[in-house]
Copies of this chain bind each other. A is one copy, B any other.
Amino acid sequence: MATKPIEKDTNVFVTGNEVVAWAALAADAKIMYGYPITPQNEIMHYWTRLAPKHDRNFLQTEDELSAGFTTCGGVLTGTRAFTATAGPGTVLMQEPLTMAEMMRIPIVVVVQQRGGPSTATVIYSQQEVTMCCYGGNGEGFRVVYSTSGHQDLYDYTIKAFNTAWKYSVPTIVLGDGYQAKMREAVTMYDPASRGIVMEETKPYVGAPGKPGVDRDPSFFKNTYNTEEELLDVVNDLKDHYDSFKDEITEYEEAFTDDAEIIVVGHGVVSRACKEAVKNLRKDGYKVGYFRPITLRPFPGKQLAAAVAGKQNILVVESALGQMKRFITEDLYGLTVPITGYFKPGKGVSSDELVDKVKSMMK
């Protein structure tokens, strides 16, 4: 058998797509299924180069529907499997994701967001947030980690596999075109060296023994006959989701205690927010910073605590308020005014946020 792909800590200067490929290797993912789309292509490029050396597999499918459904198939056998996509590919991925939600199939999907709607740009956006959290004909029983840079991509890709398998929930690592294509430093490590134990995978189908003789056969279905049955199923899914959601909710905050304005951003935008807040603090502005790491479940309670009694919440997105909708959902009842700073499909710089906050504090 192949040795561990990463034995000891390795510091490298690479693209985010390369980071994801290495993280999936380190997480002991056995197979990737995928269809090309910019800006996630290089995940496949690296994976296909590395996979044979580490006894891993790859299947290039005919489209993203197939990429999603083959991933479901692979996972059902108890194999740690993943796919990656973006933009219109993420739109198509909603169909397999709804099956995974219903049948609790722990697929991992890396989404490198690009501009929308439609084909739009191949570059960057945060416009796939609603879709990743609540896409399809259901109620969004998924976990979504929004990453802000290479270390996140490494850490949360590994974590995504564990969350998925521990809770039997489809899990999305939400990146974007910037993170996919940019180069910055990252420390890659063997998860075991950080005390991370990879969750054991279990076969949904194909367990040992003759079905009907040694054990019951397993039947996995997604269709129900009556409303009443479905209500029970969806309520079960909800109860299951609620049972672990507090446990996995993640966020980051800084300078919130005495702040008058809280700047909220997720993903790569949170870096601009953090930098802006740091710079504003140097100039004496009382500004705080809050970053949801899990977008689903959303750290609403924590955000509510952070913004209580503040003058304003500045919500920053490279989208038209997709995250803001989660904020108002969870913060409804509060009266702290919310200001939106939305640049759909376009990056946000710390400089413009500094200006924005200054104009608000005048």
* A interface residues (Cβ-Cβ under 8 A, vs B): 87-88, 90-92, 94-95, 98-99, 101-103, 113-121, 123-125, 127-128, 130-131, 134-141, 222-231, 233-235, 238, 319-320, 322, 324-325, 328-329, 331-335, 337-338, 343-347
Q: Note all chain B residues with C-beta closer than 8 A to A135.
A: 91, 94, 131, 135
The answer on a CB contact under 8 Å between B118 and A103 is yes
Q: Give Cα A56–Cα B65 distance, bound, in whole angstroms.
A: 33
Q: Given A98-B118, A222-B119: A227 and B345 within 8 A (CB)?
A: yes
The answer on a CB contact under 8 Å between B117 and A128 is no
**Chain copies in complex:** 2
The answer on a CB contact under 8 Å between A320 and B102 is no
Of the candidates B90, B91, B141, B322, the one whose C-beta lies within 8 Å of that of A117 is B141
Which one of A113, A226, A344 has the highest number of Cβ atoms from chain B below 10 Å of its Cβ? A344
Q: Note all chain B residues with C-beta closer than 8 A to A225.
A: 121
The answer on a CB contact under 8 Å between A95 and B98 is no
The answer on a CB contact under 8 Å between A121 and B90 is no
The answer on a CB contact under 8 Å between B141 and A134 is no
The answer on a CB contact under 8 Å between B121 and A128 is no
CB distance from A314 to the nearest CB of B (A): 14
Q: Could you list 11 further interchain pairs (A-B, Cβ under 8 angstroms) beyond the known A92-B95, A120-B230, A328-B332?
A: A92-B92, A116-B136, A117-B139, A118-B137, A119-B222, A121-B225, A228-B346, A230-B346, A234-B344, A324-B329, A331-B332
Q: Give Cα A135–Cα B94 distance, bound, in whole angstroms.
A: 10
The answer on a CB contact under 8 Å between B335 and A325 is no
Q: Give Cα A116–Cα B332 distance, bound, in whole angstroms.
A: 27
CB distance from A331 to the nearest CB of B (A): 7
The answer on a CB contact under 8 Å between B328 and A121 is no
